[in-house]
Each structure stands twice: as C-alpha cells, then as structure tokens.
Structure 1
Amino acid sequence: MQLKANGQHMVVKSKIENSYDCSCNCFVRNGILCCHALKVMLNDEVDRIPDKYILRRWRRDLVPVECEMRNIFLSKFVDQLQEWDTKIDSELPIQSHAQETTTSIKEFLGVSQLENIDVLPPTGIRNKGYGTGKRLISTAQKAITNGKRQKRKCRLCRQMATHDSRNCPKRDST
C-alpha cells in the first residue's frame, strides 16, 4: 500500500522477522504499537502480539526478586512497629495536647476549671448585609440608578418624579 495525501499509513510486514513496521512510527516514538499495525495483525489473524512489541515497562513481571525480598522485610518491619506501638499504648496513659495544656494551667494557677459556664454569646446581632446574599448599595449608587429611572407625574404631589401615588413621600404625611 502506498502513502496517500489523505492520511493513510503503510504497514510493512516481515514474515521472517515477524515484524510490523508502520509509516506513522508510533512504536518508535512512544513505545506503543499503533492501530494501523494492530489492524494488519487482526487481518492476519495473529493470536498473540509478538514479544518485541510489548516493552519491559508494560510487563507485570517488572519487579525483580530483590525488590520482593525488600517488600517482605518492610512488611515484617511495619508489623513489628505496630506491635511495639500497641505495647507502648497499653503501658502509658495517653493524654492529648489539649488535656496536657489544661492540666498544666490548673497546676500553675492552682484553680480548677468551672464545670458549668454561664456566659453565652449574644443572640440577635446581625452584621450589615450578613446572610442576605446581597451587597450593600451606597447612596451615590442609589442616586445614579434613581437618576436613570423614567420620570412620571405623581397624582398626590403633582410633580414629575421617579415615584407615583403608591410610593409618594407625601402619602405617609397625609
């Protein structure tokens, strides 16, 4: 098959070497067999991919025997550490840092901590805009938006303003 301008690739098959070389050079660049060579293998009904196309980094048997011995040693070492940890925990009473601090303050001041605390935080206090989900709008910004509103004639005060008879300031005074 020849290389064409529309993006087709040529796979050269060698029966003697049992190799498949594609013009895309994916195996050479990335170490992964390309789909073009795999398709040719499927057409040839190859049952098993040749070993030279499965690099050492993709194999399960990559871990050497020395590393397995180290893993066994490390697992035994970790087991021994856990055993020592449980033994120390059973022999020594454990106090948290907060408990140690509290006891040292009690000893230093000579006073014990009160059991019942009567002072509570105040309720009903709200900071400006907290929890409303809206930001506070400044008076200057309110004036700008009111200036942009269309003016209409109010029936109560008989003026051209941004309000009408429903929300006229004179309505509350009469």
Structure 2
Amino acid sequence: MKDHNLHYKRWFKDMYRRQTSWIPAYFKDMPIHGRMKTTSRSESANSFFNKYLHHGNFLLYFMVNYDTDTGCHGKPCNMQRHLDNATKRSRHKFGMGIGLEQHVAKVYTNTDFLEVRKEIYKGAWNCSIDSVENMNGWQVVMITHLDKRRQVKTKCKVELKVPEKEINCTCELFKRMGILCRRVFAVLKNNHIEEIPEQYILRRWRRDIISSHLLVNKNGLAEMEDKTFKLLTEAYSNMEYCLERLQNDKGKLEYFFKTTRAMRRVFDQDPVNTIALDDSDEAVFTLFGVSIPEHIEVNIPPVVHNKWGGTKKRMVSAVERAAASSKSGPRKCIGCNLYVNHNWRTCKVRIVHEKSNCS
C-alpha cells in the first residue's frame, strides 16, 4: 500500500482493518501462524464447551463438568499421557542411515518426528543443489525442488553460516510452521551436519518439554517463576530418562538408587526444605491452585434432586407409572360372589359345592 500510494484508498483501508480475518498466506512472516487457521480457534473452543454445556444447566453443573474435563483426569491430560507414552515406547526404523534422522528421533515427539522425517526424505530425494557460493561468510546454495513427476516445482535460496550454524531459506517454513524445510535438510546433509542446530528446535516440539509428574501438580505450579519451572521440568525429565535407561541394568540401578538416597538424606537435614503438612490452606492451594476465601458467598444448594431422591428405591420411569395405573382391579367371581383374583372355573367354593351335590 505504501509502495503504490494506496493507503488513502477507502477500500484498501477497510480491508487492512480486517486483517485478523485474512487467510494464512498473509501471515507467513509471523512466527507459527501457519499452524493457526482463520476459524480453528473458535471451532476448537466450541467443540470443547459443547460436550457438556447446555442452556438449562446451573452454574454448579458447569463448574463441576469444567473441572472434570480440564483437571488431572480430564481428556487433555489423558491425551497428554497417551502421547507421552507413545513417544517413549516408539521404535523407529531409520531408512536414510544418517545422523540427522537419529537426532530428530531423539529430540522430537513422535508426531513431530514423522513430520520432520518426511522433510528429510523429501530433501534427499526431491531436492537438488544447483550452485554453491561463498559470500561474506555465508554459504549461498541454490536449490531446485522437484515434484513426484520429477518436474521443477520451486527454486529456493538457502544461506548457511557454518561456524554459527545459522540457516535461512526463502520459503520461511521455519517461521511459519516451526520446523526446518526440506531444502535446509538437503544443505545440512551436503555439509555433513548430523544434528539440527539447537536454536532451530523449538521447545514446544521437544519430547521432554514437560514431565508426566508435573501434569498432576500443575495447579500448584501455576505461580512458579519461569526459570524455576524450567529447572524443575528438566530435573524431572533427567530422572525419567535415567530410570528408563537403567531399568534393565540391576547394577547401575542400584548405584542410582544409592546416590539419590544419599542426596535425599542431605536434603532432609535442611530445615528450609521441610514441608508444612499441617497447613490446610497451603495444601488446598497446592491441590487446586486457589486459596480458601475468608467469606463464602456462594454455597451448595440445600435441595438437590438426584437419581435416588433420598430413598433406597430407584426412580420409577413414566412408562412404569403408566403401566401400573392402567392395570384393572380384581373381577367378581360368580361362584362365590366376591371380588377376587380367580374366576368361576377355578373357584374353590364352586368346586366344593358341586362335589357335595354329587355325593
């Protein structure tokens, strides 16, 4: 707009004000915006709340369902544990036989490993190096990307500074999606670099980003400083990593146990690290992440209609009530002239009377 002097046009000004609704192509210069679509955030929120939200629900029902769904036993945490277990138990087959593929499997989660490995394979088979030049300490490489029919799809320029391991690509896939592109992997493979530079491995894709132990106590750790939380996460990750590596070696496992037990004895002697077990307020804050208020204004309703209704009998359905009310009473027997549950044919009075007449 500035280059062509269009910022005074009304139509361009109105369109620029609506930039929050633009398609992702306009956000390619913003970090990680390639993974966020136009309506994905609102659709995700609607899908999350529509599972248990109804216009006739009370506030109490909403709070209970929300805590159940987002708590340590809710679907997000269960999915987190499931994905962590899948990442730890996964055994990958390396088809390329290069160190890059093994390094990716070591640092990325299972889902991101499959995505990054696809880029490595595409870089090895579909990308070719046209020219290599050195300019001001940068290695400038021109890459031709071929499609499945071996036809030219795109041409990109990759810049690599070998000592610092800084990489730039004109496609800017790392800025949009958070992972390196296939052209970059082709250049890394050509320079015999077998590990992805640390600055290009985002923390959100790492397999050790958060320990499974911290998922249970996430409420109590909400107010913790970022540096302390990071150290705690790395400590838990190191502990889990050591236990996984030593679970089949009894000798090393005993050495690890003795070392940690000695450290525990040293820490137990420090009065600063003692935990106040009698403080109920601190225990509530650690468990729920909130403190007990001094004045409680909202209480539980005194009458709550539940399934049992305070009796030992189950609730009778409408069908059962209708069936019970539709049943007719006993009929009159012409043998004994009484309203009973038998008829003239089975009436005992009639049978006795007939036998006496026959005799």
Q: Bin the TM-score by the shorter chain.
A: 0.3 to 0.5
Larger Cα-atom Rg: 1
Question: Structure with the greater relative contact order (CA < 8 A, sep ≥ 6): 1 or 2?
Answer: 2
TM-score using structure 1 length: 0.39
**Scaled by the length of structure 2, what TM-score is found?**
0.21
